[in-house]
Amino acid sequence: MENQSKELKVSAIKNGTVLDHIPADQLFRVIDILKLYNCRNQITFGTNLDSKQLGKKGIIKIADRYFRDDEINKIAIIAPQAKINIIKDFEVIEKKIISVPDEITGIIRCDNPNCVTNHQPITTKFKTIRKEGHVSFLCNYCEKITDGDNITIIQNNE
């Protein structure tokens, strides 16, 4: 573990979930998507940490909290290379691989300016389309496709 050989920038947790290798600029969006602002558990996080893989990365450690796959998979939309480690007694007991869910409710905005979801208080809904390793999102309402490389995340205060 790259963090453990050196001094830990974000202190270890005894039990819980560690979300590592989050692109630094997506850290707060991950917090948004997982609604961590409502979470009562101890949360420590760091961002703009050096990373060989990402340049700058973010990390979040949530004590005594474990996520369902359908919750945690949502972050694959913005942080596909994130690593999810489940911690028991300071040890990693499970590593989870995340993948973009087949259906997405909320989180991303439809790219079509003329889509009803961009004008009325309506929760967005998409079907994930996978083609040759590329993901895009088919809007349930306007039936237009939002490209996976070009998504806008809906902020939680909207």
Partner 1 sequence: MPKSLISIHDLTKKEILHILDVAKECEKQPVQTILNGKIIASLFFEPSTRTRLSFETAANRLGAKVIGFADISNTSITKGETLKDTIKIVSNYADLIIMRHPLEGAPRYASEISSVPVINAGDGANQHPSQTLLDLYTILQTQGRLENININMVGDLKYGRTVHSLLQALSHFSPIFTFTAPEELRLPEEYKNFLDKKGITYKETSDLDGSLADADILYMTRVQQERFSDPMEYEKVKNVYSLDCQMLEKAKPNMKILHPLPRVNEINPNVDENEHAYYFQQAKNGMFVRMAIISYLLGFK
| Residue 112 C-beta: closest distance to partner 1, Å | 6
88 forms part of the interface with partner 1 (CB under 8 A)? no
Rounded Cα gap, residues 20 and 46, in angstroms: 10
Query: Segment 17-76, which members bind partner 1 (CB under 8 A)?
Result: none
Which one among 51, 85, 112, 128 touches partner 1, defined by CB under 8 A? 112
**Which of residues 85 and 140 has its CB atom nearest to partner 1 in the complex?**
140
CA 76 vs. chain centroid, Å, equals: 5
**Tokens standing for residue 81:** 């290379």
**Contact (Cβ atoms closer than 8 angstroms) between residue 10 and residue 16:** no
Strand partners, 135: 130
Which one among 39, 92, 97, 116 touches partner 1, defined by CB under 8 A? 116
Strand duo 145-147 + 55-63: pairing? unpaired
**Which of residues 70 and 113 has its CB atom nearest to partner 1 in the complex?**
113
Q: In the complex, which residues of this chain contact partner 1 (CB under 8 A)?
A: 110, 112, 114-117, 119-122, 139-145
